[in-house]
Amino acid sequence: MTIDYVHGYSESEARRLGDQANALAALLHEGTSYPAGSKVLEVGCGIGAQTAHLVASSPGARIVAVDVNDASLAQARARVAATAPEAEVEWIRADLFDLPFPEASFDHLFVCFVLEHLRDPQRALVELRRFLQPGGTVTAIEGDHGSALFHPDSAAARAAINCQVQLQSTAGGDALIGRKLQPLLASAGYGGITVHARPVYADQNLPELVDDFTRNTFIAMIESIGDDALAAGLTTPDDWRRGMADLHRTTEPGGTFHYTFFKAMAVNPPGSRGS
């Protein structure tokens, strides 16, 4: 898959992805379940953090999970085997733009936190539509770092988040892609498009979300790019420390944090043969 994954493939990143998937499972997977016997293509499955929840919500569906990274696929296979050993999942190492499947061979597509890393997400959606049955559905989920709102507000914290946005842009991705899902899907030829905002809000009255999302998912992600941001000249050591301290302040009593994910669903128009 043509991805320059800005977050890397470390053990800490794998833990962060698992924490994120578990913390947001109800929010992101609500309304997504596939009938028994249907064939579902998950592209960019990574360590299987989302695959495990797909399996749980769609028992009996035949899931084909694809990723370009061998180590990630090994972790994904182990994760799903531990939680749902009876699940029917096929694991495939392949590039998104060179998938080894016949056209129109899937009933549904599931694409979560993948488009943000692609240099040409519109082209990817066009390519994927070839493998979707006419009338089949696509579900695409992405975040949008521009939706991060917090108290106490801090210019230094916002600057730290922007370092992540800039690094991802330099790598060819888009950390603000959530707001663009509808036009991307429309330009790729899908119909019946609906997009729903899925906001996350955490304060001291929601301590599990403070830990699982604010601290262990979002702040951990920003912290992980500190060395790269400094090396790229996007910040200074003092500014970075100040920004991270202010982000952590949002997890303390009196602090609040808000972020919005976007979940899009669309259909490959009946009669369509893809691109």
Residue 21, pLDDT above cutoff 60: no
Q: How many residues does the chain have?
A: 275
At 271 the pLDDT is 74
pLDDT digits (tens, 9 = 90+) for 62-116: 999 999 999 999 999 999 999 888 888 999 999 999 999 999 999 999 999 999 9
**Span of 86-90, 136-140, 223-227 with lowest mean pLDDT:** 86-90
Given the structure tokens 């403070």, which residue do they identify? 210
What domains can be seen in the chain, in order of their start residue? 11-150+174-202+260-268 (3.40.50.150)
pLDDT digits (tens, 9 = 90+) for 237-261: 999 999 999 999 999 999 999 999 9
Residue 57, pLDDT above cutoff 70: yes
Instruction: Count Cβ atoms within 10 A of the Cβ of residue 73 and give its class: 0-12 exposed, 13-18 middle, 19 or more buried.
Output: buried
At 217 the pLDDT is 92
At 5 the pLDDT is 42
At 18 the pLDDT is 54
pTM over 0.75: yes
* Separation in Å, CA 50 to CA 55, 161, 172, 260: 9, 24, 23, 18
